[in-house]
Structure 1
């Protein structure tokens, strides 16, 4: 049985250079999604989101393989980050951040399948927060991205270069939320070795 892996199917989106910004065209993709607010290091909502998203994702994987005969690799955790003032990211003012945590889903996963997976998770594992998980479609289009290696708190200089130098040089501006893709498990990886894709949808200024 062939196993779908978004990192392979969309290799250019999940293996950018760590040396320079690159422009990519991101197709419409769907994700399990859950919203929240605040510092991910201290927010109870953030912990609840991770506690809910992964069980739903794995339940979908097992049911897809069992019922449809279609298996897939559960994708990496991703996050959309937003604030009223985008400089809140370069200043690392985490308490002001709103976010949507994501796990990508193959195109054959439906909202009905997600609803059933949520029902299974809430009944078997008593994870009430799973009821806030939804299936969301995201169309980012033209985006700029780079691979950041190091602590999450060391992203600010790279984001500053993107938001000022790169945008100014290429006549670009924001066209959506700041998007991060976490390729490393922070529980098992030293901060200085963490790999995170930083993506920003853009449009001509």
Structure 2
């Protein structure tokens, strides 16, 4: 099975600009955590979940199994986020994310779109930087909000 480098194949999804943009996310499998708590608290549930996420991702990347084979290794696989979304690269600490989310919200309103967060569609954050290993002021996180046309 051929390994896919998603950052290269779907560059617009994983390396967006710091200005919001509308994208159509194709059906792709992800490893997703539903984090809770303050991400700044190193011993908290959220930070532990991120650690597990990075460990699983690394294990899959370094193993011979491809990302398409992950279903059999998990009791529950979350359906992939797909469809229309607005996304933006957030650079900096978690506490400053509301500024980027505000830019996304303004883009949604200015372009006649509607936030579509609800059952089956959630706000997503794609961590490109491991917060346990990098300067938090330089962390890169893709913030993605599902939308629909009005």
Tell me if TM exceeds 0.5: yes
Distance 1:27 1:152, change over 3 A: same
Larger radius of gyration: 1
| Rounded Cα–Cα distance in structure 2 between residues aligned with 1:187 and 1:54 | 10
Q: Which runs of 5+ in 1 are unaligned?
A: 71-105, 116-132
| Rounded Cα–Cα distance in structure 2 between residues aligned with 1:188 and 1:58 | 14
Confirm whether residue 11 of structure 1 aligns to residue 11 of structure 2. yes
The corresponding residue for 1:184 is 129
The corresponding residue for 1:109 is 69
TM-score for the superposition, normalised by structure 2: 0.78
The corresponding residue for 1:53 is 53
| Rounded Cα–Cα distance in structure 2 between residues aligned with 1:150 and 1:177 | 22
Q: Is the 8 A contact 2:88 2:104 kept in 1?
A: no
The corresponding residue for 2:145 is 200
User: Superposition RMSD on alpha carbons, in Å?
Assistant: 2.6
TM-fit CA distance, 1:26 = 0.2
Q: Which runs of 5+ in 2 are unaligned?
A: none
| Rounded Cα–Cα distance in structure 2 between residues aligned with 1:36 and 1:15 | 22
| Rounded Cα–Cα distance in structure 2 between residues aligned with 1:188 and 1:138 | 27
TM-score for the superposition, normalised by structure 1: 0.59
Q: Is the 8 A contact 1:148 1:198 kept in 2?
A: yes
Equivalent pairs, count: 145
1:148 aligns with one of 90, 97, 106: 90
Q: Counterpart of 1:196 in 2: which secondary structure?
A: strand
| Rounded Cα–Cα distance in structure 2 between residues aligned with 1:156 and 1:30 | 27
Distance 1:37 1:204, change over 3 A: same
Q: Is the 8 A contact 1:29 1:137 kept in 2?
A: no
